[in-house]
A and B are shown apart, each in its own frame.
Chain A
Amino acid sequence: MNTQPDSREWETLSAYLDGALSPTEKQLLEARLQTSPELQQILQELRITRALLRSVPHRRAPRNFTLTPQMAGIHRQQRPAWLVPVFSMSSALATLLLVITLFVEMFAAPSASAPMHLEEALPDTQPQAEMNALAALAPTETPMIITWGHPGMGGGGGMDLPYGMAAEGKGGGEPEPMMIMEAPVGEAEAKQAPLEESAWTAEYSAAGETDFSMQAEEMPSAEAAAPMLPDQAADALPMTEESAPAFEPATATQENAYPDAEFEAQPAEEPLPTDQPQASEEIARGYSPTASPRIYEGEELPSEAQPPLVLETPDTLEKESVAGEVIIFGLPSPEDAGQIMPTSPALAKGAVEESTPADQAAPVQMFDWKIARVILLFIAAFCGGLAFILHRKNHS
């Protein structure tokens, strides 16, 4: 029945129904229709089928499909999408910058803290270098020393130290401070002539040891102040108490040069008591609580510690009278002075407290800091990658 005509005949019949056959094709088909009642039957059924389809009523649109400006606006609002990729990429870009920053900091910071490049590193990693010095001092002496150096350098130097102490008490360098001290010396000499002179005087008056002179010179530089103590201690150890008065004249000369010199001179005095580190620490602690309130007393104390040789200034003369008894107090007085310098006693106290335990805790904390940076770096990299992937997904 229906299967007799092949697909080509179907097409011909269908086209014939629509009048889409060429005249020749139409003639051929009509000729066949005459002889084939089956084809006529199929054609008739197709005709009815088409009539059925055409008789299905047309629906009216249930509503108007006209576009509102908002709907049409979709097209225009997509234009700014050109900018979207830029902004969406900014997060990834920011993360990339963070990674780079952390990366540089991670590998640049340790080298800067190395004593060798102290001069270069000073501007950037001053706190770290200072911390190292502090840590080295911690066992022997308390922070007071740290403060001295800064007045020499100027207000800025003084400010830096306490900050450095508070920020990174971890600096683990033990022997490093020695080296650090030496580096700045050269510059310190050139910049601060008066201080140098005092240092030299101290040097000659004392044992004439070059080490000491170095220390004295270093003192003016902010970082140098701290490390000096160990050196001084080392020097002082061999020396008897007699050497102590010998140092004092140096401090006196410094006073002449600068009013602030008193503080700077004090380190020279310290070596005397530092013969017994433990004792000095005890003293330091004992004074530290009281030291903060008496800022002015602190200033006076160093003057008291000054040796009798300082005859030039009348002020010092008065102090000298007391000084003879105070030699023992010479130790605490520098502490007070040191605390005074930062002007905020709290910082000085914190420095004192940190310095003592710093020696042991320093290396461990340093390690943790590195790990934290690495972790932070990975997190940042992960976030950046995520942002980039999301960006690509959104615009794919």
Chain B
Amino acid sequence: MMDEFALAHAAQKGNLDAFNRLVLAYQDVAFNLALRMLSDEHAAEDATQLAMISAYQNLRSYRGGSFRAWLLRMVANKCYDELRRRQRHPTTSLEPSTHDDDDAVESPAWLADQNPGPEQSLEQIELEHAVQHCIDLLPDDFRLVVIMVDMQECDYQEVSEITGNPMGTVKSRLARARMRLKDCLRHAWELLPEENRLEGEVL
């Protein structure tokens, strides 16, 4: 197990290698958070990279605790920056509009943009698309919480640290987000893998 505190401490003293080891450990989580928040791979890359730079520059503000949460907070801030920039400069997305899902899935551009790995089945691609589509409909604050809890499997405390919100706010936003997603994703239930569906029904 990596001693993230020791690495962070070394990084605080200017050890770039130590910092990069932390980056390698958490870059997947960071990238996925940015990808779900921004729903755009390139924007997610930029946000992740900027977050890493920002993290290195603000290493002194890390005072122990979960480095992952501290790092994800940087990523979340960069995502908010990008979302705000989009609001100021709205652009037409290359991705299909959220209303014609069927056409979108068959769109070559859409498939290419998703860049599915070889291990991903068509169902998984459809599921990912459906979830992303419903997540995009959420307010930014709700989306951040539900991504971290249900997709990144963070606990409430960690989410509270990352977002800087009290626990009650996290719970409330998570519940509201889930309730909205429940209705949005109802048509995608059949995409749920068999074992997962069984697990849900059992409980």
Give 1 or 0 for each of A306-328: 1 = CB within 8 Å of chain B CB: 00000000000000000000000
Give 1 or 0 for each of A10-51: 1 = CB within 8 Å of chain B CB: 110111011010000000000000000000001011111111
Query: How long is the Cα–Cα vector from A74 to B32 in the complex, in angstroms?
Result: 26
Chain B, interface size category, equals 35 or more
Task: Tell me whether B23 and A72 are in contact (CB under 8 A).
Answer: no
* Contact (A67, B23) CB under 8 Å given A52-B191, A52-B192, A55-B193: yes
Task: Tell me whether B28 and A72 are in contact (CB under 8 A).
Answer: no
Task: Tell me whether A53 and B28 are in contact (CB under 8 A).
Answer: no
B112 interface contact, C-beta 8 A: no
Residue of B nearest to A13 (CB): B175
A75, chain B: closest CB distance, angstroms:
5
A238 interface contact, C-beta 8 A: no
B66, chain A: closest CB distance, angstroms:
18
Report the count of interface residues on A (CB-CB < 8 A). 40
Give 1 or 0 for each of B178-203: 1 = CB within 8 Å of chain A CB: 11011101101101110011011101
Stretch at the interface among A57-65, A343-351, A366-374: A57-65
* Contact (A53, B52) CB under 8 Å given A18-B156, A61-B31: no
Query: How long is the Cα–Cα vector from A51 to B190 in the complex, in angstroms?
Result: 12
Give the chain B neighbours of A52 by CB distance below 8 A.
Answer: 127, 130-131, 181, 185, 188-189, 191-192, 196
A66 interface contact, C-beta 8 A: yes
* Contact (A46, B120) CB under 8 Å given A18-B149, A58-B28: no
List residues 55-95 of chain A with CB under 8 A from any CB of chain B: 55-67, 69, 71-72, 74-75
* Contact (A47, B203) CB under 8 Å given A53-B131, A66-B23: yes
List residues 148-190 of chain B with CB under 8 A from any CB of chain A: 149-151, 153, 155-156, 171-172, 174-176, 178-179, 181-183, 185-186, 188-189
Task: Tell me whether A67 and B56 are in contact (CB under 8 A).
Answer: yes
Task: Tell me whether B178 and A14 are in contact (CB under 8 A).
Answer: yes
Contact partner, A65, options B49, B124, B131, B197, Cβ 8 Å: B49
A-B contact count (CB 8 A): 142
Task: Tell me whether A71 and B53 are in contact (CB under 8 A).
Answer: yes
Task: Tell me whether A53 and B200 are in contact (CB under 8 A).
Answer: no
Task: Tell me whether A67 and B16 are in contact (CB under 8 A).
Answer: yes
Task: Tell me whether B182 and A46 are in contact (CB under 8 A).
Answer: yes
Contact partner, A50, options B53, B172, B178, Cβ 8 Å: B178
Residue of B nearest to A53 (CB): B150
Residue of A nearest to B115 (CB): A62
Task: Tell me whether A51 and B200 are in contact (CB under 8 A).
Answer: yes
Give the chain A neighbours of B156 by CB distance below 8 A.
Answer: 18, 20
B82 interface contact, C-beta 8 A: no
Give 1 or 0 for each of A176-190: 1 = CB within 8 Å of chain B CB: 000000000000000
Give the chain B neighbours of A13 by CB distance below 8 A.
Answer: 175
A48-B200, A57-B124 given; 8 more Cβ-contact pairs under 8 Å: A14-B171, A44-B200, A44-B203, A52-B127, A52-B191, A54-B151, A60-B28, A65-B52
**A-B residue pairs, 6 tightest by C-beta:** A14-B175, A53-B150, A66-B20, A10-B175, A61-B31, A11-B175
